[in-house]
Structure 1
Amino acid sequence: MHLEIQGLQTADAPTLVLSSGLGGVAGFWRPQLAALEQHYRVVTYDQRGTGRSADTLPEGYSMAMMAAELAEALEQQGIERFDLIGHALGGLIGLQLALDYPQRVGRVVVINGWLSLNAHTRRCFQVRQDLLLNVGVEAFVRAQPLFLYPAEWMARNQARLEQEDTHHVQHFQGMENLLRRLHALKSADFRPHAAKITQPVLAIYSQDDLLVPWSCSPELAAALPNASLIEMAWGGHAMSVTDAENFNALLLQWLTRKEAKDEYA
């Protein structure tokens, strides 16, 4: 698994692990690095079967496997204790880690995530899957920004989107890998286990998210014993990209407020 460690390098520096969504690659977090590296040791990684972590995923691939792979990769780097910030699928990996490795996980931030898959999100995933299977990779990639970004932002960033489309087609994770990762994501259901996740969790969401209804984050927060909720009015599913300055400020405020030095003892 390709993993990079940036920011503070002292032995007692608090560690933030950044976990991406369905795309899986570390580059998603570029808008956050400068803000976070001043205060934390920051770990980014390409999830198994994506980007620079090329692999063929097995049948029955699951959220628990995604969490275990990350836990092992961090342990190999000598990182036993960490907080995790995750976008959608990445946030669910964080919740799974909190369940399966409770002594290692301090805090979890879930960006536009959910407790269990909403019917609307399932429909969106089905549309994307149909495009991939029936039209092809290029159509799947071209449609992806529609679910990530507000229309106004896309209209102002057409050149950037065209460059990203080309890059994503060239570095596509592969149909089988994507379908197995998507199945794992759709199958994840934290309703039976939410009460066991006692770590501080921030559910942060954008009201204009097309892919995940904003109500999913309050539902998630209500099910967890120690959750906070932050709403952003604009930015779409990927508001950490489209409104990075505001997102970073809100994130750092929560992290600072929830800082507990003895969590890293």
Structure 2
Amino acid sequence: MFYKISGSTSPDAQTLVLSSGLGGVHGFWQPQLALLEEHFRVVVYDQFGTGASQGAIPAGYRMEDMADELAALLSSLNIDRCHLVGHALGGILGLHLAQRYPALLTSLVVINGWTVLDSQTRRCFKVRQDLLLNSGVKAYVHAQPLFLYPADWLSAHADLVQQEQLQQIAHFQGMENLLHRLHALMASDLSDSLANIVTPTLAISCKDDLLVPWHCSVTLAAGLTNGEHQQMLYGGHAMSVTDPETFNPILLAWLQGFTSPSVTTSSQPSPTETLWPKH
């Protein structure tokens, strides 16, 4: 598994792991790195079968397998306690990690995640899958920004999006790997076990997310033993990229709430909701 460690070298610095979505690669977190590195020892990685973490993903692959792979990586780095921030698939991975390795996580942030797949998300995934199978990699990559970013942001950043697409085509994770990862994500259902997760968890949603309806995060937070929900009003599915000026302070405020040794799971707030306008 490819990884990078950066940020604070203080012996008191807490470790923060960033886990990306379906794309799987660590570059997704570029808009957050500089800020987080001031406060934490930051670990980013490419999920198995993506980016520089080369390997063939087998049929029958599960989200539990992704959680086990991350746990093994952290063990190899002698990390036995950390915060995890995950976007979509990365957040679902984090929930499975919290369920399987409860002592590993100090806190969890799930960005535009869910308990069980919503019909709207299933519809979007099916469209993307059909594009990949029937029209090929280029068509899949060219359509992807429509599900991630608001229309006005796409219009204002056309050159950046084009460069991003060229990189994604050149370093595509492979059709079988992507489909097996997608099927694992779609099959995940935490409905019967969500209340068993005790890790303090922040679910962040975005009101204009086309791919994952915002109410999925509300349901997720409400079903957790120590869940909290906060909502941004603008930014689309990838609002950490499109509006980091709003997203980053939300994330940092949550993480800094655990810098005191006196903070424990039982002291965390009950599910709440906060709305964050763009400006």
Question: Structure 2 length as normaliser, TM-score?
Answer: 0.93
**Any residues of structure 2 matched to 1:137-176 within 5 Å, and which?**
137-176=137-176
**Any residues of structure 2 matched to 1:1-265 within 5 Å, and which?**
1-261=1-261
Q: Deviation per CA, 1:28-86, whole angstroms, max 9, x where unpaired?
A: 00000011001001000000000000110111111010000011011111111111000
Give the AA of the match of 2:23: G
When the two structures are aligned, how many residues end up with a matched partner?
A: 264
Give the AA of the match of 1:209: D
How many angstroms apart in 2 are the aligned matches of 1:13 and 1:134? 48
Contact between 2:16 and 2:42, CA under 8 Å: does it hold in 1? yes
Give the AA of the match of 1:141: V
Give the AA of the match of 2:205: Y
- 1:12 is displaced (CA, Å) by 3.1
Contact between 2:8 and 2:38, CA under 8 Å: does it hold in 1? yes
How many angstroms apart in 2 are the aligned matches of 1:99 and 1:248? 26
Q: Give the fraction of aligned pairs with identical amino acids, expressed as a percent.
A: 56
Q: Deviation per CA, 1:105-163, whole angstroms, max 9, x where unpaired?
A: 11000000001000110010000000000000000000000000000000000001111
SS at match of 1:261: coil
Q: Deviation per CA, 1:173-213, whole angstroms, max 9, x where unpaired?
A: 00000000000000111111111111110000100000000
How many angstroms apart in 2 are the aligned matches of 1:13 and 1:95? 24
Aligned match of 2:272: none
Give the AA of the match of 1:177: N
Give the AA of the match of 2:174: G
Contact between 2:117 and 2:188, CA under 8 Å: does it hold in 1? yes
Structure 2 unaligned spans of 5+: 265-279
- RMSD over equivalenced CA pairs, Å: 1.2
Question: Structure 1 length as normaliser, TM-score?
Answer: 0.97
How many angstroms apart in 2 are the aligned matches of 1:188 and 1:214? 18
Contact between 1:106 and 1:263, CA under 8 Å: does it hold in 2? no
Q: Deviation per CA, 1:229-260, whole angstroms, max 9, x where unpaired?
A: 11100000000000011100111112223444
Contact between 1:206 and 1:235, CA under 8 Å: does it hold in 2? yes
How many angstroms apart in 1 are the aligned matches of 2:6 and 2:188? 30
How many angstroms apart in 2 are the aligned matches of 1:263 and 1:94? 20
Aligned match of 2:271: none
SS at match of 1:85: strand
Contact between 1:67 and 1:93, CA under 8 Å: does it hold in 2? yes
How many angstroms apart in 2 are the aligned matches of 1:232 and 1:219? 16
- 1:263 is displaced (CA, Å) by 7.0
Contact between 2:16 and 2:85, CA under 8 Å: does it hold in 1? yes
After the TM superposition, list the runs of 4 or more consecutive aligned residues in structure 1 that deviate by more than 6 angstroms.
Answer: none
Contact between 2:114 and 2:216, CA under 8 Å: does it hold in 1? yes
Give the AA of the match of 1:68: D
Contact between 1:87 and 1:113, CA under 8 Å: does it hold in 2? yes
Q: Residues 103 and 263 (structure 1 numbering): CA distance in 2 closer, same or farther, change over 3 Å? A: farther
Structure 1 unaligned spans of 5+: none
Contact between 2:21 and 2:90, CA under 8 Å: does it hold in 1? yes
SS at match of 2:94: helix
Contact between 2:109 and 2:204, CA under 8 Å: does it hold in 1? yes
Contact between 2:222 and 2:228, CA under 8 Å: does it hold in 1? no
- 1:262 is displaced (CA, Å) by 5.6
Contact between 2:82 and 2:104, CA under 8 Å: does it hold in 1? yes
